[in-house]
């Protein structure tokens, strides 16, 4: 099993390209199910989750053609065509590996009038039930049946009528499923308390390029007038705001200065504000963001929240950076109930962190020491990389398949800007 080996203590300098957003790509891929014409996605990141979703689409009858397969290329161009669906079921073996598979439920239902998808289980960072997905589809007119770990959704008469969806809490995934199900409904759909994440905006823009009629994009109320059918389109995946924030934290903990090419400050304001409060200089450039470290790092008090609040996907990376801040920081996790599994691993490297319930107090230390550590989930694994970049000696990060789910060619990008980092297949 692969491991990543880091010899820390080197500041990062130069230009680092930001890849297409994982969380957006996994939302845009199922849009191909909504039309029999080709959908081409550009700037698609090379990630294990993207490949897995592509395999799922193939099983449903979607043909895929990939350009940009040269080793030196970042990102790819994928053209998908679902001339007809050969299946309407997403089986357990796929859904259990990748929770984003649930996002085929809405578009298959919209296209075929019925869909059967395995219920996903829990995951390392906590349970993420799909009850809001199901209630949204019921509000759109779907009839649901639960049996043997699967949910079957049927549109009476073969087409959803549309309806009024009012989410009791903000849910990104449920908003995405509801939007994709509603765009070809026979009537109007209103979604209240919709998620406002940039990835939701990206989805809506892609769908409108395919002929969907969506008002209120970027707000908490979406109004969708269903159209009879969508057409093909070519669309570029937005840059990954979580990847950009992760590399900014790496600059903060190591020192130096990076231009994050492609990053958009407008889509990551809460992250940019927190970085500035920690003492980093952030400058918008023609190509992206320039992040420059200052010493000493300042402690922070942060609480995760739905967009436009501080993203839960940035909590672990900030925690790693703040282990070297001058003073005590307090991080509170409000989204997931079990997202501090990186804490014991950071402690192995000398971090001083105390967790009480959903809050963690991070007392800054003078330095971290390299150690063998184990990744437990995607963002936790990146926190260990960030810590390793600043630690004295050698850090070995195991279970790096977590990283490969969400960070495109991480060691190559970091090596190019001064880090001493490599992948070893013998770990």
Q: Which residues are paired to 272 by β-bridges?
A: none
Distance in angstroms (rounded) separating the CA atoms of residues 164 and 207: 20
99 assigned ligand-binding residue:
yes
Answer whether 247's CB lies under 8 Å from 258's CB. Answer: yes
pLDDT surpassing 60 at residue 424 = yes
CB neighbours of 143 closer than 8 A, spacing ≥ 6?
A: 153, 154, 155, 156
* pLDDT value of residue 123: 44
Q: What is the pLDDT of residues 147-174, one digit of tens each?
A: 888 999 999 999 999 999 999 999 999 9
Helices (H), 60-149: 92-95, 105-112, 131-139
Q: What is the pLDDT of residues 66-116, one digit of tens each?
A: 986 665 667 899 999 999 999 999 988 887 778 789 999 999 999 999 999
* pLDDT value of residue 41: 97
Q: How confident is the model at residue 122 (pLDDT cuts 50, 70, 90)?
A: very low
Considering only CA atoms, which of 371, 368, 282, 382 is closest in space to residue 325? 368
Catalytic (active site) residue 123: yes
Burial per residue of 286-304, b for 16 or more beta-carbon CB atoms within 10 angstroms, e otherwise: eebbbbebeeebbbbebeb
Domains 3-18+239-424 and 22-236 share a fold: yes
One DSSP character per residue, 149-205 reads TEEEEE-GGGS----EEE-SS--HHHHHHHHHHHTTSSSEEEEES----HHHHHHHH
* pLDDT value of residue 121: 54
* pLDDT value of residue 124: 46
Q: What is the pLDDT of residues 337-354, one digit of tens each?
A: 778 999 999 999 999 999
Considering only CA atoms, which of 278, 290, 288, 292 is closest in space to residue 324? 278
* pLDDT value of residue 426: 64
43 assigned ligand-binding residue:
no
Output the pTM of the full model: 0.95
pLDDT surpassing 50 at residue 332 = yes
- Over residues 32-51, mean pLDDT: 96
What mean pLDDT value characterizes the chain?
94
* pLDDT value of residue 94: 80
Q: What is the pLDDT of residues 375-393, one digit of tens each?
A: 999 999 999 999 999 999 9
Helices (H), 233-303: 241-254, 269-277
- Dihedral of CA atoms 210, 214, 218, 222 in degrees, nearest 10, equals -140
- Over residues 393-406, mean pLDDT: 94
pLDDT surpassing 80 at residue 129 = no
In CATH, what number does 22-236 get? 3.65.10.10
313 assigned ligand-binding residue:
yes
What is the topology classification, in CATH, of domain 3-18+239-424? UDP-n-acetylglucosamine1-carboxyvinyl-transferase; Chain (3.65.10)
Q: How confident is the model at residue 120 (pLDDT cuts 50, 70, 90)?
A: confident
Can you give the residue ranges of every domain in the chain?
A: 3-18+239-424, 22-236
Answer whether 346's CB lies under 8 Å from 357's CB. Answer: no
Distance in angstroms (rounded) separating the CA atoms of residues 52 and 96: 12
pLDDT surpassing 50 at residue 126 = no
* pLDDT value of residue 67: 86
Query: Do you know the residue count of the chain?
Result: 427
Residue 94: count of CB within 10 angstroms of its CB:
17
Catalytic member of 123, 204, 206, 249: 123
> 132 in helix, strand or coil?
helix
* pLDDT value of residue 98: 80
Q: What is the pLDDT of residues 44-62, one digit of tens each?
A: 999 989 999 999 999 999 9
Answer whether 167's CB lies under 8 Å from 194's CB. Answer: yes
Distance in angstroms (rounded) separating the CA atoms of residues 198 and 266: 9
Q: How confident is the model at residue 425 (pLDDT cuts 50, 70, 90)?
A: confident
pLDDT surpassing 90 at residue 398 = yes
128 assigned ligand-binding residue:
yes
pLDDT surpassing 50 at residue 328 = yes
Distance in angstroms (rounded) separating the CA atoms of residues 269 and 94: 35
Distance in angstroms (rounded) separating the CA atoms of residues 366 and 371: 16
Answer whether 235's CB lies under 8 Å from 28's CB. Answer: yes
> 368 in helix, strand or coil?
coil
Burial status of residue 84 (CB atoms within 10 A of its CB: 0-12, 13-18, 19 or more)? exposed
């Amino acid at each position: 099993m692969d491991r990543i080996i880091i010899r820390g203590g080197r500041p990062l300098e130069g230009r680092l390209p930001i890849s297409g957003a994982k969380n957006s790509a996994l939302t845009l891929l199922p849009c191909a199910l909504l039309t029999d014409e080709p959908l081409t996605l550009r700037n698609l990141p090379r990630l294990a989750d993207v490949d897995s979703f592509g395999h799922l689409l193939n099983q449903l009858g979607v043909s895929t053609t990939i350009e940009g397969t040269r080793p030196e290329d970042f990102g790819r161009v994928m053209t998908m065509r679902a001339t007809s669906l050969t299946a309407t079921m997403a089986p357990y073996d796929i859904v259990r590996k990748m929770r984003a598979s649930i996002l085929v439920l809405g578009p298959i239902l919209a296209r075929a009038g019925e869909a059967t998808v395995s219920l996903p289980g829990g995951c390392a960072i906590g349970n993420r039930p799909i009850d809001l997905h199901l209630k949204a589809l019921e509000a759109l007119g779907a009839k649901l049946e639960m049996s043997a770990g699967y949910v079957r959704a049927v549109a009476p008469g073969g087409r959803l009528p549309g309806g009024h969806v009012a989410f009791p809490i903000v849910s990104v995934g449920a908003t995405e499923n509801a939007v994709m199900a509603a765009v070809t409904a026979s009537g109007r759909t209103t979604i209240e308390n919709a998620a406002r994440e940039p990835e939701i905006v990206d989805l809506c823009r892609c769908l409108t390029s395919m002929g969907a009629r969506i008002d209120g994009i970027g707000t908490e109320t979406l109004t969708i007038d269903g159209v009879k059918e969508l057409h093909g389109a070519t669309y570029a995946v937005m840059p990954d705001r979580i990847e950009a924030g992760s590399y900014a934290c790496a600059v903060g903990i190591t020192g130096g200065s990076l231009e994050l090419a492609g990053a958009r400050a407008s889509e990551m304001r809460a992250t940019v504000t927190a970085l500035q409060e920690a003492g980093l200089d952030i400058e918008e450039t023609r190509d992206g963001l320039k992040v420059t470290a200052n010493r000493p790092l300042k402690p922070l008090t942060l609480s995760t929240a739905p967009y436009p609040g501080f993203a839960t996907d940035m909590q672990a990376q900030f925690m790693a950076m703040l282990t070297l801040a001058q003073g005590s920081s307090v991080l509170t996790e409000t989204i997931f109930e079990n997202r501090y599994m990186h804490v014991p691993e950071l402690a192995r490297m000398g971090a001083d962190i105390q967790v009480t319930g959903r809050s963690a107090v991070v007392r800054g230390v003078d330095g971290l020491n390299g150690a063998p550590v184990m990744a437990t989930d995607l963002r936790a694994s990146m926190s260990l990389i960030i810590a390793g970049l600043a630690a004295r000696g050698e850090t070995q990060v195991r279970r790096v398949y977590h990283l490969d789910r969400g960070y495109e060619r991480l060691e190559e990008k970091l090596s190019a800007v001064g880090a001493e980092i490599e992948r070893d297949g013998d770990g």
